[in-house]
Structure formats: structure tokens, C-alpha cells
Structure 1
């Protein structure tokens, strides 16, 4: 862990807790064994997608005219990798373990107008080339100016760079055609074998030169393998223009490292400011303590006093003279408007909560580490499908409480409403990606697999849960509802539904917005997110905050003799999704450099899905807490 001066307050806590919180630092995955290499063994480099933070549109490596092997072989990819736009293929880059190799020529190409334009477009959009060796991604080491001893890593190297010459008033493009690879290994002295623990590169633009005609044994005059360096003339960069000849070359060197195989991902996932997460958690805990104090005051003081007073009333006339939440006992459990829709949203929220909780547990245990590419996405999809049984159960249980009888209809709505909205948005966005000919477009086979999971597994499980719930006896309300609704008095402006709903969403969002920054950075700036221990704590804090703020505002609402708490309890904590989307808009304009309209549509489309999912999750948490609270307090008083 990295600590700066002044962080001694958190030092002891961080040293003791970070080991348990960041369990995903040690990526020795069950079932994934390290590979031992002996000297001279062939190491084959695989290429992945070209990625850019400016366009958010990935492309396959061979979408531009890079050097190709004799036969391109696609690697088997899981569902998550396909959805992420990964396209892993073989490459002509091959090494021999612990055998340095200098000035190796990969291929020579001559650009035409089309290929030159393709390279220029990728350089304009700052695309980076991603490669993989022994499941380790290729990284470029970057030393921070203010902290020379600390090295950060960027994923992949730039295709090239663009230079503006002010004197000539001309813009030129230069391609990175010479790669200097550094493979770090941990040696086993007993077996004389080694395991790869690092894969780094430095990319250069070199206008290679040679004598005579080009042949298979041509020697470059700009690269001397005996001197192990580039020589005179190599300081001239390789320009990208029509009819220009480009020679792709690479060097490889091997460095012994003390890093063990099980900890090889620690360097890649090093956090520069670990204490920011601690400050976030402390800030969130202060919010939770404040709300807990409010709830404790309500439950232990106010409610206890009210219940004692109400139970001591001897006559109905005395009860009618009093005011407060007890007067609503004949209306508080009256079914709300659009009760079917509320049941659907609650059931969907239960499904989403189950998915998130299970995924968090697996992630904290290290099963969903970044070394398992696409594992998190695959796990989320499968867990969502399997949690359908809890969704159907929760929906039908609440629906039966509202005296509903058409359980098949309500279950069908639950199985199709939320997934249908998300799938429709995803389908439109995928069409836009397809139009850009990006590798991020989901193929037809994968789309069919998603539909199969939805219709053939998720929907039946939702119906199974609904059937089980509807066979159970109805949950009886603590008090009976009157036939005639009680008139609701005029409310103060601060007790209006709009004001209380908007206020209720601020605290849950405030508890997570710092961690949200790191999540958005990992998604849109293509960085690893692995601090699942911190995320799990923030998730628990979010649950507690949503529950407590909803209970507090619900109590104030009932005390003002307004019994319409059903939908308001859902929307109070669910309104935090509105602040999430506003934050996403702010992040787009302050942190991202997206210029293409399609890329902007993709960003806001996916953030709309994320905000909608966050609304369903937080709304359900608030509703369930309020549902438990109201049943508890009204079951504690005597009703004549």
C-alpha cells in the first residue's frame, strides 16, 4: 500500500484491514495453475483489441494493416469478453524464454492511400494496442514527475503520435513501429524453470534503413543487434504517408524479478492514493452514524412514548382527540395506486440485490479478479438469471398482500419489464456500434445466447418463484383498513412528496459518489478496478443509508397524517439514481475527451442503464425497510 505524509492516522488500520479488504490482490485463482517455462521455450504473444478513451469503440488488431501471421487464429472467449469487445488473436511476435533478441524484423509493408488513412484515423483518436503474454496484459511504464520512485502503468502502447510543425504549418503523423519488450520472470532455482510476472513495452517511431535490395536476410543499418541498441539514423521517426515503406521491428529482454507468480498482478493494480477510499468510507460512516442516531431516537424514544400513551387510552373518544401516526391505522395499509407496478419493481429490485450481493462476495474472495478477463461480466449475467426465482417470489408475495389474484400476469410483467427495457436500449446501442464496424458490436450468436438465458432460464425461474409465493398464506396486515379513505390534511412545503423524495436521495448518493468516481474511471478510461473489499463496505453502507433515510422520512410523513407511503418510500431512496445520472453528465464533460457523437450516445445510453438499475436497487431497499417499519409500529399498538 502507498501512504503519503500525514496519513499516520490511518496507517495501522490500513495495514491490518487492507489484507482482508483487498483479497483480490493475490490472484491465485482456484483452478488456474501457473505455467513454468524453461530456457528456450517459445513464448507466443497474443494481440487484443485496439482501444481508445476518446471514442470508446474497440477494434480488432488486424482491422488496420499490421503484420500478420501466416494464419490468424481466434482464441476462445467467454461471454463477458465478447460483451467487452475483446478479440484475442495470435500474432507474429514470438520470443524464446530468457533469450534476448534484438532488432528482429517482423515484416515490411508499403502504405497506400487507404492504409495510410486508416493509421492516421487511429492516431487521431489516440488508439492503443493491447497485447497479452501468459495472460498478462501489455503495459507501458510511466514515471510520475512528482514521485520519481513510483511507476504507474498504462495499458497498451499508442499506435502513433501526431506532431504539429508550426514553422511549416503542417501536421505529420508518426507510427510506433519499433517495440522494446521487457519480460520479467521469477526463477525457480531448484527446477531451473521460470514463471512470467511482468510484460512491459516501450514503443518508438523509427525510420529504418538498409543497404541494397530487400530480402529475407536484409540487415538494418539503423539497428545493431551486437551493440544491442538503435544506431545512427534511428532518431528519424517513421512518417505515415501514401507510398511510404514501414518496417516493423522489436527487441526483447528478460529481467529476473523477486515478485512471485501469485502476486504478479499487484504491480499492475497498484493504487496511488489508497487513503482516498478510507476517507470515503469514514465520510460515509459519519452519515450512517447520524442517520442511526435519528432512527434510534425515533424507535427508542418517540415511538416508545407514543405507543405507551396510545395503549393507555381507555376510550375511543380519547383516541380520536389525539393526533399523529396512530390515527392512520385504518388507511396505512390501503393498497396504493398502480400497486401492480410497485410489485414488479420490488421483485426486480430483489433480483438485482441478490445479484449484487453474490457478485460482491465472489469478488472479495478473489474469484472475479481482473486476471480472469470477462469473469465479472459473465458472473453478473448468470447471477441475474439465477436470481429470477427470488424476483418472482417477492413480486407474488407482495401482490398477494394487496389481494391480487392474477399471479401469472404479474409474474410475466416481472420477467419482461426491466430486462425488456434494458435489452431494448442495449440493442439500439449495439446497432450504433455495428454501424461503426467496431469489434465491440455483439455478434448474432452472442445476442442469441443472451435471449436464450432470458427466455429459457430467467423467465421460468421467475414463474417458479411466483408459484411458490402464491401458494403460501397471505401476509395479514397488523390492522384492518377502513372502507372509506381518511382525508389527508394540507401538507407543509417541506413535507411535500417532491421535496422529501429529492432530499431522500442525497445521502445515499453521498455515501457512494467517491467510489463511483473510481468505477467510472475503470470503465471509461480503461483501467483495472480491483478494490472489491472497499466496494463491499461501501455497498453495505449504501444499504444502511437507504434504509435509515427512508424510515426517518416515512415516520415524519405518517406523523403529518399522510398515509401514502408506499410509492414515496420507493422513490425516496430511489431518487439517488437521479443524482447518479447528473454526476455521470458532470463526469462526461470534466473527465472524458469524447468527441464523436456515436461515442457520446454510447456513454449516456450505458449510464442510463446503470442509473435505472441503481434506481431499482436503492428503491427496493428503501421500500423493504419502510414496509418492515410500518408493520412493526402498527403491530405494537392496541386498536379498539
Structure 2
């Protein structure tokens, strides 16, 4: 345990130093710009934390280029609902522009209704410049610091000029600020910041409208503050004309290109985050150490007692875990299903481990949009070979012979259940005409990854596993099952299973809060070093709590440990889903039924995956434990 504590402390210290002193993004190449170079602003999806349904930027009647071009998107971006397209916002490097007209639209009843709905649901417009997302700087009242919010609101609603009626106003004038870091020797510059301050301005002009010649009387391009009259916001109503304009200013910054994401990744007060995570890890480590010491001392005493030749007969008459040695390795009910779930859990465990290693190395940083989800899908697919191998090895130990049937169930059971939920949710999102609906081409790609790569790899792993010699049990199994005595109330399977899931959930619930916040409140998550430590603690906790309860179960002469070991640590998924429900009602402001179904559907998938991986950890821990203790005692 001392070694484990020192190892965790060293890893923690290294992750702190790494996060504090550097932030390197492999695979993202810097781009140099010279004065006058054209900068193309791209538009991304419209997002709302109230509906969780993303929409394409041009789903609203914003002025658009003659030809809308989609940027190349990876699988993860499509699944996230990203729709990156070109726009009419074009800058020239280090050349400020004042009161540029983007275009003019006239609202009809349908367009006015669409804008009002998006404003009412607090949708935000997302843009990208040189791979940097657009942010709105907000000064904190209580501190001399600035926080950044991703994107700007489509508009706002409120009362105006003493009217009691609530009206809708659109943000049609954008004051951009592009921050750059200049190279003194080459005079080239790199973009390190992209900010905006949105305004609602009822623009006015003289004469007949001409896109190129008309001069706005509400906008002076020669003044430092281009919006001359901001007392008249642009109302959203039918037959209203809306003129979209923008300014752009360039500011030199001392921030270097390698550190330009720091402002985005420090959007929240992280002191509570760090303190909570460290506190949680230390408590769980302390409890795990205590449990391990008690278990080791108790087991050493039991094994020493059972192995004393003089008291061999006396030991056999006593109650304890040794008495069930002839039944402890008897195959359980529904052993085929257990093999399938264990194989799926191994696949998930491998996916999490490999993905997290890549994330710690920086390859899956927020600048690589969709990279995390793409990596998880691909790694999951290629881990199918380990799923097939694990399930078939266990299946052969249970004296099974039809390995192809087990391989097929391992390859299809979990993905099929998730696919059914996913297709139902996708149909609901498609009915809302959201960009979050997965298109047919992406669906085909997912099906190909499943049946074209994952399924064959599962069969390959199953074939290799079945060709291996069967795992031999350390003790023989009796032909007639031993009768299990009546158990105390606290050893009831349902009670012990529910109790067993509390500690593993306690190891992750604080980190879970930040993960849910990043997913559902549109914030970045980047502390993968801490997440990896929490994952290690989760593995240790699942293993130890399952071993402890398994030991108590065997001491009570109850040898039906196979499924209970899986369910004991896997029950932490129930607490995860309950916490997700609590988070929904306390932190989110979702009002639409479709959005609520969308949230609970995806959290159900996440909880199911958590059940599979934690259950597999607990099962293998008990499998190792039982084989260890029964191979350490002398049995006639």
C-alpha cells in the first residue's frame, strides 16, 4: 500500500506540474499570417443549454454566401452536431474594419417566429477563426478578472421605452476583437484570441438600399466607436428590416500560440475543482488501504489455520469459506450471458484505457473538435478482439463448446441495445430538424464499423481464445450442489449488491459533476490527468469492495458469487443514473419533452456502459481472489 500511495502521489504531482507549466497540442499546426492576409470566419452550430438541440447557423435566415461550403468534419464532429460552414464575415490581418455591412433581410411571419423561438430558448451563435472558437468576455463584479462564454446570444428579450409588453431584439452588430502574437523578426503573426461584443442596433440609411453604396446613418466608419446610436435596438417583428454589420479590431498580445487555449480552458473557478478531486482521491485511497490491510491480515490468519496439519480435522468442522470449496467454481445460471457481459466489459475497459492515454498526451485536446468521440469509437471497434477472447476463455472454462454463438452474442448484444436507444433518440431529434440528427451517411459508417470491423475482430479473438487450453480450477467441483444455509438479512443479495455500488460511485461523483457540466452546459473538459487518477481509484475501489463482500459471502457458506460479484460493483451505475436525474432537476433548465428524453436517453446509455465496465472489474477481482485463496489451502 505504501508503494501504491507513493505511485499515486507521484502521478498526481506530475499531472499538476504538467498542467501548470505547459499545454501542448500535438497534431495542431500553427499558421502564420502577414499583414493584409485574408482571414475567413467560419460559422458553427447554434447551441442552447435549455433545449440541448443544436441547429445549423443557416437554419435561421442570416445573410449567407452565394455558395455555402461545408468544412471537412470527422465522425465525432458529426455526432456532436457540428456543422462548420463558410460565412460573409471576412477580415484582413491587422487591418481594422469599421461598420462593414454583411447584408440585409426582411422578416416574414415565419422568419420572425424562428428568431423569437431561438431567442426565447437562449440559443448562442458559434463561430471559428483559425480553429479558435468565438467567445464573449465578461468582467466579474466581485473579482478583477474576466471569464469567457462560448458564442454570443442570438438576441435578447425584455421591455423597452416603458412598454409593459415583452419584445424580442436581435444581435445584428458584432464588434470583433482578434488578438495576435507578432514575431518581431519576420513580422508574421499568429492568432491567439477571438472575442466579440454583440449589439442590437436599429440601423438607418438614406435613399434606396444598395449593398455596396448605401451609407448607414447609425454607423460612422471613421469613429472609434462605430455604433453612434445604440439607444434603438433592432426589434424582431414581421415586415421589419434587419441590417447585419460588424467591426473588427486587432490587438497585439503577449500570449504565445502554444498557450492560446488557456483562456478557454479556465472558464470556471478551478480551485474548488482541484480541492474536491484531491480530497475525494485521498479519502478513497485511505478507505482502500484500510480495507486491504484488514483483508490481508484476516486471510493470512485463515490460510495459516487451515494449513495446520494438527488442526486439519478441526478446521473442516468449522464454518467458513473452505467448506464450500466443492461448489465455489460451479458454473452459474445463465453462464453464457455472464461470458458475454464480461467480454463486453473488457472491450470497454480497453477503450477507456487507450483513449485516456491519448488524451493525457494531448492528442484529444478541445482544439481537435470531435477527436475524443472519434477516438473512442475507433478504439472500441478494434478492442473487439479482446472482447471475443475474454468471453470465449470464460465460456470454455464453463465447459462450453459452441464458441461461435458466444462470439456472435458478444459482438451484437451491447451494440444492439445501444443502437435501439440511439435510433429512437435520433428519430426524435430528426423530427425537430436539428443538426444533431445523425445523417444517413454517418449511420452507414457506424454500421460498417460495427459489422465490417468489430464483429470480425470479435470472432478472431473468440477463435484464438477457444483454441487455448481451458482454465483449470484449483479445486474440484462436487457433483451434488451443497445446500446454502439461511443467510442473515445483511447478506441478502439485493442489499449487499446495492451497498457495494456506493463506494465506487463515491470515487467518481465529484468528477462526474464536471463531466456532466462540460457535456450539457457547453463547456470544455480538459483535466485528463485527474480523470485518469479517478479511473485508477475507481478500478481499485471496485475490486476491493467486491472482494470484501465476496469474502463475507463465502464465509456465510454462500457460493453463488459469479453474478453477485458482477452486480456488486456494477450497481454503481444505478447511483450514476440517479445522480444524473438529480443533476437534471437542479442544474439544467430543460423545459421541452424532447430535450428531456434526449438527456435521459443518453444518460441511460452512459449508465449502461458504466455498469458493464465496473461489473467486469468486480468480476475479475473476485475471480482472481477466489482462485488465489482456494489454491493456497490444503484440501483433501
Please give the range of the TM-score, normalised by the shorter of the 2 chains: over 0.9
| Matching residue within 241, 244, 260 for 1:245 | 241
Q: Which residue in the other structure is 2:206 paired with?
A: 211
Correspondences of 1:150-299 after superposition (within 5 Å): 150-164=145-159, 168-215=163-210, 216-270=212-266, 271-299=268-296
SS of the aligned residue for 1:343 comes to helix
- The answer to whether 1:362 aligns with 2:371 is no
Distance 1:66 1:121 in 2: 15
- The answer to whether 1:49 aligns with 2:45 is yes
Distance 1:535 1:409 in 2: 37
- The answer to whether 1:471 aligns with 2:467 is yes
Greater shift in the superposed pair: 208-217 or 91-100: 208-217
Greater shift in the superposed pair: 342-351 or 320-329: 320-329
- The answer to whether 1:117 aligns with 2:113 is yes
Deviation at 1:20, TM superposition (A): 2.7
Gap change, CA 1:120 and 1:245, over 3 Å in 2: same
SS of the aligned residue for 1:207 comes to coil
Q: Which residue in the other structure is 1:627 paired with?
A: 623
Distance 1:27 1:260 in 2: 12
Q: Which residue in the other structure is 2:316 paired with?
A: 320
Deviation at 1:353, TM superposition (A): 0.2
Deviation at 1:222, TM superposition (A): 1.0
Greater shift in the superposed pair: 313-322 or 344-353: 313-322
SS of the aligned residue for 2:420 comes to helix
- The answer to whether 1:146 aligns with 2:142 is yes
Q: Which residue in the other structure is 1:537 paired with?
A: 533
Correspondences of 1:337-356 after superposition (within 5 Å): 337-356=333-352
- The answer to whether 1:384 aligns with 2:380 is yes
- The answer to whether 1:18 aligns with 2:16 is yes
Contact kept? 1:389, 1:464, Cα under 8 Å: yes
Q: State TM-score, norm by structure 1.
A: 0.95
SS of the aligned residue for 2:145 comes to strand
Distance 2:390 2:13 in 1: 41
SS of the aligned residue for 1:224 comes to coil
Q: Which residue in the other structure is 1:9 paired with?
A: none
Deviation at 1:69, TM superposition (A): 1.0
Contact kept? 2:220, 2:228, Cα under 8 Å: no
* 1:593-632 deviations in Å (ceiling 9; x for gaps): 0011000000000000000000001000011011000000
Contact kept? 1:223, 1:234, Cα under 8 Å: no
Distance 1:497 1:171 in 2: 58
Deviation at 1:274, TM superposition (A): 3.4
- The answer to whether 1:398 aligns with 2:394 is yes
Q: Which residue in the other structure is 1:8 paired with?
A: none
Contact kept? 1:22, 1:364, Cα under 8 Å: no
Q: Which residue in the other structure is 1:3 paired with?
A: none
Q: Which residue in the other structure is 2:301 paired with?
A: 305
* 1:125-152 deviations in Å (ceiling 9; x for gaps): 11100000000000111122221x2211
SS of the aligned residue for 1:320 comes to helix
Contact kept? 1:120, 1:173, Cα under 8 Å: yes
Deviation at 1:289, TM superposition (A): 2.2
Distance 1:177 1:41 in 2: 26
* 1:62-91 deviations in Å (ceiling 9; x for gaps): 001001112111111000000000000000
Distance 1:362 1:231 in 2: 47
Distance 1:567 1:189 in 2: 67
Correspondences of 1:34-113 after superposition (within 5 Å): 34-113=30-109
SS of the aligned residue for 2:223 comes to coil
| Matching residue within 486, 491, 501 for 2:487 | 491
Deviation at 1:402, TM superposition (A): 0.7
* 1:95-150 deviations in Å (ceiling 9; x for gaps): 00000001111111111111111111110111100000000000111122221x22
Gap change, CA 1:233 and 1:22, over 3 Å in 2: closer
Deviation at 1:454, TM superposition (A): 0.2
Deviation at 1:313, TM superposition (A): 4.0
Q: Which residue in the other structure is 2:3 paired with?
A: none
Contact kept? 1:208, 1:234, Cα under 8 Å: no
- The answer to whether 1:459 aligns with 2:455 is yes
- The answer to whether 1:28 aligns with 2:25 is yes
Deviation at 1:310, TM superposition (A): 1.1
Distance 1:333 1:277 in 2: 44
Contact kept? 2:15, 2:530, Cα under 8 Å: no
| Matching residue within 405, 418, 442 for 1:446 | 442
Distance 1:201 1:231 in 2: 14
Deviation at 1:285, TM superposition (A): 2.7
Aligned length: 625
Contact kept? 2:42, 2:84, Cα under 8 Å: yes
Distance 1:417 1:539 in 2: 25
Contact kept? 1:325, 1:560, Cα under 8 Å: yes
Deviation at 1:316, TM superposition (A): 6.9
Q: Which residue in the other structure is 1:606 paired with?
A: 602
Distance 1:630 1:177 in 2: 68
Which runs of 5 or more structure 1 residues have no equivalent in the other structure? 1-11
Contact kept? 2:12, 2:530, Cα under 8 Å: no
Contact kept? 2:71, 2:85, Cα under 8 Å: yes
Gap change, CA 1:231 and 1:462, over 3 Å in 2: closer
Give the RMSD, CA atoms, in angstroms.
1.6
